[in-house]
Amino acid sequence: MMTKVKTQGLVTDLMPNIKLMQAAGHFLFNYHSDNSGMSMLLRKVYSSVHAVLIVVNYVCMAINMAQYSDEVNELTANTITVLFFAHSVIKLLFFALNSKSFYRTLAIWNQSNSHPLFTESDARYHQLALTKMRRLLYCICGVTVLSVASWVTLTFFGESVRFIANKETNETMTEPAPRLPLKAWYPFNTMSGTMYIAAFALQIYWLLFSMAIANLLDVMFCSWLIFACEQLQHLKAIMKPLMELSASLDTYRPNTAELFRASSTEKSEKVPDPVDLDIRGIYSTQQDFGITLRGAGGKLQTFGQPTPNNPNGLTQKQEMLARSAIKYWVERHKHVVRLVASIGDTYGTALLFHMLISTITLTLLAYQATKIDGVNVYAFSTLGYLTYTLGQVFHFCIFGNRLIEESSSVMEAAYSCQWYDGSEEAKTFVQIVCQQCQKAMSISGAKFFTVSLDLFASVLGAVVTYFMVLVQLK
Amino acid sequence: MKILTKNIKDKLSTLLPVLPYGVLESWDDLDPKLYHAIHIYWLKFYGMWYNNFSPFNILFWIQIIYTLIILWLVCFLPGIGEVVYLLKRKENIGDIAEGLYLFLSEMYTYFKIAVFWLNKDKVMNLIKYLYCEEFKPVEAEHKEFIRKSIKTARFVMTYYSTMCVGAVSVGIIMPITENFDILPTNVEYPYFNVYTSPAYQILYVHHIYYKPATCIIDGVMDTILAAFIASTIGQIEILAFNLRNFDVVAERRRKRAINEHKATGALSEDYHIRTVLRDCIIHHNSIIRYVSMIENAFSLASALQFMLSVMVLCLIGVQFLSIENPSSHPMQIMWMAIYLTCMLFEVFILCWFGDELIWKSLDLRQAAFEGPWLKTNAATRKYIIIFLERCKRPLRVTAGKIFVLSLDTYTVLINWAYKAFAVMSNMKK
């Protein structure tokens, strides 16, 4: 029986994704419980076998493309397929070469700070992030399986032919080809018999695994972005209580006791990691607050005269709490910025390659789309490729856009809480937050472009323009 | 308002219940109702306003029946007729494209009404929000700004609807010039021939009723968003005035407090300046919240409006080019030209008001800087610093989060409409 792996931070949240990636053959060798030499060797062999199979089949497809490159339609169709699966090969290689960077990003959230008054808000948004990440994973897995199934189903419709150009008359003839999901060159004859069934099985395996490899890596990227966005939501949510806490330091307010009650309306999902020693040293249990609060129905028990510096009669511990709240906010924000920077460094180049290949693929698909002449296999396959490619681009554009919006709305949240009634310290804090959050946090594709819905709109606009121009040239 | 002198107003006072609020009444109390009075009046006239009675009241059912009758007359009957007409010509895609523009723009009006009914809570909240404490004018200058914005809102509605009704009347008199060969809108019905004698006259009268009705409802739906934005702009101008003159405003407040024997009258000038700035920030926050409420209520309708306008504009262009013998059909040419102008104007109104909002909110930064902050102390200046930080980002209304209502978007849309028109006209050849 495998002992449970001790994981923390992002790795715990993304464990299903990581396990799926390991199963699909990515070179992901960390995060196992059993790290003995034998199992490591087995895992490396497993990944290598997958890698070899994927690359070999890909090369066979490329050979097929080179073989039948005389006829334009055949060449275009084969090029689109080859480019489509280039994503998988590139992502497999990218992960293998960059795994250190991925491990570093996954480890960034291992130690996070905490503040006793904000723990349940933290836990709530963390749980929200977890739910969204799981939902995304299931959704993309479903889409992958559905795509493979519909691809295999579509193979059985229509004529199984390829186009050949007759060199003498310059006409296009058709020649029978094996009825396989992908056109590839195999050293054995795959027209019929056991070899045909073997090739078919190999291709189904290949389709499933290569799509899974590409999609799972994208899901990991988007899950990181979801996590960052939910952390920003948490920071926005605690802005108002933070202002009130800070105001209680130097302005008289009734019912200050409410502020210091760590509300237990929601159950804390997990115990926060013990890191921030400043706070932990002083507030060992939440009982500390309970004692001071059991006064007359929530009113603060004052044990001395309220001094001008302390109009609400806060105890020293409460004063320390209030002062450390701003520190918690700033440290957490810096942590999120570090996470986003690390995500950008890790995945930026992969995004750049993805966009380059997608642009070429979409241009060719626009050309193919002008040749649609009815509801047939050709139309379905072209529209299927188009939807899938645009869907992949949309997938990471929408999460990148959400990150940009969340990070720039922090400034609006800071402004809309009642800072004008707060202390001078709170006002300075709001001023610095407003200045810092003017520039939104964004992910860039190796500094060439920013991942946002504008990118998706420009890609879509380019495809429509190419289509319109090519339709006129027909 | 200047046209109607007091004498005429007295004589017309019997018509008070049937005219929109604010035509004969005075505007002295600057009731926020004035912004939307004309819009709500026309919606009520055609039974398209919200049904606020309880289901146990007989008036609820009377209103529902009235709404259904009007919907049947102006939406379903012409809609069915146009669909049948288009289906009878479905072999020729060019003919369909020509008839489609009218069908699309008319049916889209009722889609806008449906979205409007769907967003009933949001729109009612918006109207109620205008009565909030922060939006009430205090100084005389404030009242001037509000008066100006009310005038803009009502002016846009009145003149845009008049223009559209005028355009449609050209369409209505078209059959007269064509010797009663055609109807104002090409419709056909399955069970009888529309060009025979009694049916033709009845349908002509029906068209004379329903075309201006659709126009006015469409005009209301377009300009109601503009009216909300106009009210926001009025509030922003009040805020800008307060910021530019916060010392004067503080002084007036202090004098008012002394006159009313309030405790705050005894406090220093500094306290009053701080209070004025604090109220400015609260006012600013209310305006920001109001703009996001506007966006929530009208985002979907505006986004679809933009996408549809692009389609309709390019179809009108194609139709324009396909009129053979232009010199012998001057009315047709004029009708096309006027319709094109109306469509361009429809989108322009939304984009212009959105753009105006962006510029006025950027003006707030200038206003804060122009105020007499040099005379104040550091703590007071902190308010202005944080305010300036917030004003770096302008207030904007987006349509479906994709399009921002601004003149840049307008240019992009016209561009796309022209591209689509060029492709389609090439394909027709």
A201 in the Ramachandran plot: left (φ > 0), alpha (ψ -120 to 50) or beta? alpha
Q: Please tell me the distance in Å from B180's CA to the nearest CA on chain A.
A: 40
Q: How confident is the model over A428-446, as pLDDT tens digits?
A: 999 999 999 989 999 999 8
Of B390, B420, B423, the CB nearest to A434: B390
The span from the CA of A416 to the CA of A427, in Å, is 12
Residues in chain A: 474
A405: nearest CA partner in chain B = B401
Length of chain B: 429
**What does the pLDDT read at residue B429?**
67
Per-domain residue ranges of chain A: 10-247+313-473
Give B389's pLDDT tier (boundaries 50, 70, 90). very high
The answer, yes or no, to whether residue B189 has pLDDT greater than 60, is yes
Is A293's pLDDT higher than 50? no
Per-residue pLDDT band for B4 (boundaries 50, 70, 90) equals low
For residue A141, give both structure tokens. Answer: 């897995």
Q: Tokens for A281, please give them.
A: 């040293």
**Section B124-141 average pLDDT:** 92
Residues of A in contact with B385 (CB under 8 A): 431
Residue A391 has a pLDDT of 95
Give B419's contacts in chain A (Cβ within 8 Å).
465, 468
For residue A123, give Cα distances in angstroms to A14, A235, A458, B212. 16, 12, 38, 58
3-state SS, residue A161: strand
When CB atoms are compared, the residue of A431, A453, A457 closest to B386 is A431
Per the CB < 8 Å rule, is A411 touching B379? Answer: no
Please state the ipTM of this predicted complex: 0.81
Please state the rounded mean pLDDT for residues A170-184: 83
pLDDT digits (tens, 9 = 90+) for A77-103: 999 999 999 999 999 999 999 999 999
Mean pLDDT, residues A185-203: 88
Return the residue in B365, B385, B389 with the most chain A beta carbons within 10 A, the one to mutate for interface testing. Answer: B389
Q: Of the candidates A408, A415, A472, which has its C-beta nearest B390's C-beta?
A: A415
Structure tokens at B246: 């916060």
Average pLDDT for A49-68 = 93
Per-residue pLDDT at A269 exceeds 90: no
- Gyration radius of chain A's alpha carbons: 29
Measure the CA–CA gap between A105 and A107, rounded to whole angstroms: 5
pLDDT tens digit sequence for B398-424: 998 888 999 999 999 998 888 888 887
Residues of B in contact with A428 (CB under 8 A): 382
- Mutating which of B393, B408, B412 best tests the A interface, going by the most A Cβ atoms within 10 A? B393
Would you say residue B12 lies in a domain? no
The pairing of beta strand B403-404 with beta strand B398-399? antiparallel
Please give the residue that has the higher pLDDT: either A348 or B307. Answer: A348
For residues A157-184, give the mean pLDDT.
80
A 377-436 near B (Cβ less than 8 A): 408, 411-412, 415-416, 419-420, 424, 427-428, 430-431, 434-435
CB atoms within 10 A of CB B395: 23
Q: Do A438 and B427 touch (CB under 8 A)?
A: no
User: What's the average model confidence in pLDDT over A101-125?
Assistant: 93
Q: Do B402 and A415 touch (CB under 8 A)?
A: no
Residues of B in contact with A438 (CB under 8 A): 389, 392-393
Q: Nearest residue of B to residue A416 by CA position? A: B285
- Token pair belonging to B391: 């004003």
Largest pairwise CA distance in chain A? 107
pLDDT above 50 for A270? no
Q: How far is B278 from chain A (nearest CA, A)?
A: 7
Token reading at A296: 């007359």
Task: Give A95 to chain B, closest Cα distance, Å.
Answer: 34
**Contact between A438 and B393 using a beta-carbon 8 Å cutoff:** yes
Q: Is residue B98 part of a domain?
A: yes
Question: What Cα–Cα distance (Å) separates residue A272 from each residue in A111, A113, A126, A314?
Answer: 10, 8, 11, 26
Beta bridge partners of A175: A162
Q: Which of B278, B288, B423 sits opposite A420 (nearest CB)?
A: B278
For range B266-295, the mean pLDDT: 93
Residue A69 is classified by DSSP as -
Mutate which: B292, B377, B382, vs A, most A CBs within 10 A: B382
Compare CB distances from A468 to B392, B401, B419 and report the shortest one's residue: B419
pLDDT of residue B425: 79
Contact, A455 vs A396, CB < 8 A?
no
Rounded to the nearest 5°, which phi and psi values hold at B135? -90, 0
pLDDT attached to residue A159: 77
Tell me: pLDDT of A288 over 70: no
Provide mean pLDDT across the span A227-242. 95
* CA–CA separation, B265 and A1 (whole Å): 80
Interface contact B393-A411, CB threshold 8 A: yes
Q: Sorting pLDDT into bands at 50, 70 and 90, what band is B197?
A: confident
A468 chain-B contacts, CB cut-off 8 A? 419-420, 423
Question: How close B285 comes to chain A (CA, Å)?
Answer: 6
Helices (H), B260-329: 269-321
pLDDT > 90? residue B291: yes
User: In B, which residues are within 8 Å of A412 by CB distance?
Assistant: 288, 390, 393
| Residue B171, pLDDT score | 83
On the question of pLDDT at A266 being above 50, the answer is no
Q: Which of A240, A394, A405, A415 to mutate to test the interface with B (most CBs of B within 10 A)?
A: A415
CB contact under 8 A, A411 and B427: no
Q: Do B389 and A453 touch (CB under 8 A)?
A: no
Inter-chain CB proximity A420 and B423 less than 8 Å: no
Taking CA–CA distances from B386, the nearest residue in chain A reads A431
The answer, yes or no, to whether residue A362 has pLDDT greater than 80, is yes
Looking at residue A282, its pLDDT comes to 39
Question: How many CB atoms lie under 10 A from the CB of residue B291?
Answer: 20
* Domains identified in chain B, total number: 1
- Residue A5's pLDDT is what? 64
- Whether chain B has a CB inside 8 Å of the CB on A472: the answer is yes
Q: Is the pLDDT of residue B368 over 90?
A: yes
Helix (H, G, I), strand (E, B) or coil at A304: coil
According to DSSP H, which parts of A311-416 are helical? 316-369, 377-416
Task: Give residue A328's pLDDT.
Answer: 94
| Structure-model confidence comparison of residues B423 and A106, the more confident one | A106
In this structure, of A379-383, A463-467, B367-371, the range with the lowest mean pLDDT score is A463-467
- Residue B24 belongs to a domain: no
B330-370 vs B269-321: helix axis angle to the nearest 10? 160
Q: Find residue A307's DSSP bridge partners.
A: A310
Q: In percent, how much of chain B has pLDDT > 70?
A: 98
**Residue B2: inside a domain, yes or no?**
no
Average pLDDT, chain B: 87
Q: Where is average pLDDT lowest: A177-191, A313-327, B95-109, B237-251?
A: B95-109
B7 assigned to some structural domain: no
